[in-house]
Amino acid sequence: MKESQLCLRGLSKFGQSISERLAESYHGQDDKGFYEKIEVVEDFDIVKLNERLLNKKVIQLQINLCLFLRLKDNPQELEIFRTLTALDSVRILRFQNTSSYSYTMINKELDNWEVHTSINKILLENNKFKVKQADRFLKKVVSLRSITNLQLVGCLFNSQNFQILIDELANNNESLRSLTISCLRFFQELETDKNHQKQMLDNLANSIKGQRYLKTLKLNQNEGCIDFLKSVIANNNTVQKLSLSQCDLRDNNFLLLLEAFLQNQTLQSIDLSHNKLKAQSGRHLKDIIASNPVNLQSLILNNNELDDRGFSYVLEGMDASQSQLINLDVSQNHIRFENSLLTQSLISICKRKHLKNLILSHNAITPLGCEKLLQLHEQMGNRLFDALHLDTNKHIKDDGAVIISQIIEKSLQIRHVGLINCEISDRGGQVIANSLSKNESLFSLHLGFNPISCETVERMSDSLKVNQTLKILQMHFCSIGERGALSLASSLQVNSRLTRLILKANPIGNKGCQAILTSLKFNHSLIVINLEDCGLLQLDEGVCEALSVNKTLEVLWICNNQLGEGTGKVMAQVLENNSMLKIINLQGNFLNDKDAEELFYGLRKNTTCRHLSLNTNSFSDQGKKLLNDEKKNHLINRSRLIF
């Protein structure tokens, strides 16, 4: 069963009756495999939830709960907490901003938790552990033997409760498999006494070291704690996944961690993203990779300041040590890929066939860099990577796109090419489109946020008539007009492979949008179509017929257009006849009260549509009341109805 979320915040006097209904409705219900998120943020929502719980079918959508609970001083609200935490389906508890909790009340319930073994993950986020009752709360939560995943993010400690955390981690050293301690904060007494703070952090490092089965450790957003990080890394022989994201690591302080990394031979994944590592850190990474060539399989370096020289050091380390690294993410750096040492190292690395994913998006790759990639590709017998992640390399432009098209055309195994926001116009776009007619492996192509227009799409349409592999095509936020849409519509009538088409925010116009939607009468592969903000004015009879008979489309995204009165009638007929559509987004249009009535007529006869978005339309207050009534009385089994 999938986990869902039950958010109960700001609860009112209705808490007691809701908890009783929840317990009654839960008993004896079968799992239907669905899930629902219910969010209660004010008293009025409590009333609505109480009414919804009258229908026991709702509970089938929320049996397996991920509980986000914020308690206040009303004892009736504690009944909700008591009822839900007693259910075997509860797996996750999340406490946010616990300075506003009634610790006295909640601590009474914590005494009974030892026998409750289904909760295995606790999240403590932005909590201020200051009052004395909070010490007991923290002690109980951390000491639970059923917990395998403990996350403390942005919590504020004083010396007493920080010592409690240290002690309980030391005592409970056999259950945790994953531990997150991110964005540590201290009250003034610890913040100003740096010596005391350092001693406490040393003790915490020892407690972490004592965890016998800990596999994942995340210490993100801990700036100025180099000695603590160094101790944790060097003295741990169980952790396989380590994350030090957003720790303000630079060339100078990263050097201080080098010795610790060299001592650790168990790490399989290292995340150093969102730091400020430059070329000199590349040398240190070279040594780290060389010291752990077998176990280390994933290195995340996105959002740093590595250039070609720094990246070449990383690759040299992989090459010299015959590293078995599988995933290397160097996106959002300053790599141009023009250094010949890069290609030399990559050729040697790729021949060993370990590296599967190299992410180069959001860099500064130039046409010369694309030429280096092509040379590398050819020297590897046109079998390089499964994917080329080159999004937001704005120096690629048309010259680079022409070179990338040769990789697509020649490749025998490439599955994905990402060229979003690379400043490619029709000259480069047309060549990319032509390459699809000769490629027999590409699964997805992303060309969004480029100034390509109808000329590119016409070539793309010709290729789609013969291409037998492409399933995902994204051309959002481009300059595609009516002529391109008409051409694309003709190819969709014969293409039998494409499953996802994203054309959001193109000036296609009403005629072009209708042509694409009408082609669904003959298309038997599309599952998702996005025509958001494309100038669609109305749904005519041809569109109605096409959507009514189509047997594959599950997601119809036509929001933020100019659809007005009459849309409800068409969609009602579609809903009455179509048994495949699951998600329909009509928000941001001009539907009126009559459209709402007609839509609900179709929805009552439809059992498959589970997400209907109608917000930001032209409903009157009476129309909004109708939406509320229909959701309460007739659409209770739908997981999402947004208006």
Residues 6 or more apart whose Cβ sits within 8 Å of residue 282: 306, 309, 310, 311, 312, 313, 314
**CATH ID of 516-643, from 3.90.1150.10, 1.10.10.10, 3.40.640.10, 3.80.10.10:** 3.80.10.10
For the chain, the C-alpha Rg in angstroms (whole number) is: 29
How far is the C-alpha of 20 from the C-alpha of 22, rounded, in Å? 5
Q: Which amino acid is at 151?
A: Q
Q: Please name which of 156, 95, 168 lies closest in space to residue 130, comparing C-alpha atoms.
A: 156
Domain extents in the chain = 1-90, 516-643
DSSP state of 177: S
Residue count of the chain? 643
> What is the Cα–Cα distance from 575 to 611, expressed in whole angstroms?
12
For residue 505, how many other CB atoms are within 10 A of its CB?
A: 18
Q: How many angstroms separate the Cα of 641 from the Cα of each of 44, 558, 564, 570, 585? A: 18, 16, 20, 19, 10
Q: How many CB atoms lie within 10 A of CB 223?
A: 12
- Model confidence pLDDT, tens digit, residues 588-629: 999 999 999 999 889 888 888 888 899 899 999 998 888 877
**Whole-angstrom distance, CA of residue 308 vs CA of residue 335:** 5
pLDDT in tens, 135-179: 888 888 888 888 899 999 999 998 999 999 999 999 988 999 999
Q: How far apart are CA 484 and CA 558, in angstroms?
A: 18
Q: What are the φ/ψ torsions at residue 264 (nearest 5 degrees)?
A: -95, 120
CA dist., res. 440 & res. 548, Å (int)? 33
Q: Is 268:295 a contact under the CB 8 Å cutoff?
A: yes
Give per-10-residue mean pLDDT for the chain (643 aa). Answer: 36 47 47 44 51 44 35 54 58 68 68 65 82 83 87 92 94 92 87 88 95 96 94 93 98 96 96 98 97 95 97 95 94 95 88 88 97 90 85 98 96 93 98 96 97 98 96 98 98 96 98 98 96 97 97 96 96 96 95 93 87 91 83 53 62
User: What pLDDT does residue 201 have?
Assistant: 95
pLDDT at 128: 81
Rounded to 5 degrees, φ, ψ at 584 are -130, 125
What is the pTM for the complete model shown? 0.85
The total of other beta-carbon atoms located within 10 Å of residue 227's CB is 13
* CA distance readout (Å), 298 to 79, 241, 251, 274, 328: 46, 9, 21, 16, 6
Q: Which has the closest alpha carbon to 464: 519, 404, 399, 422? A: 519
Signed CA dihedral, 103, 106, 112, 117: sign only? negative
CA angle 240/241/242 to nearest 5° reads: 120
The pLDDT of residue 102 is 62
DSSP 365: -
DSSP lists the bridge partners of residue 472 as: 444, 500
Return the H-helix or E-strand segment holding 85: helix 77-85
Say what the alpha-carbon torsion angle 243, 249, 253, 259 is, to the nearest 10 degrees.
30
Q: Which residues pair with 121 in a beta bridge?
A: 92, 149
The neighbour count for residue 211, using CB atoms within 10 Å, is: 21
Reading the block at residue 547, the tokens are 């959507």
From residue 632, alpha-carbon distances to 42, 61, 99, 572 in Å are 18, 15, 35, 19
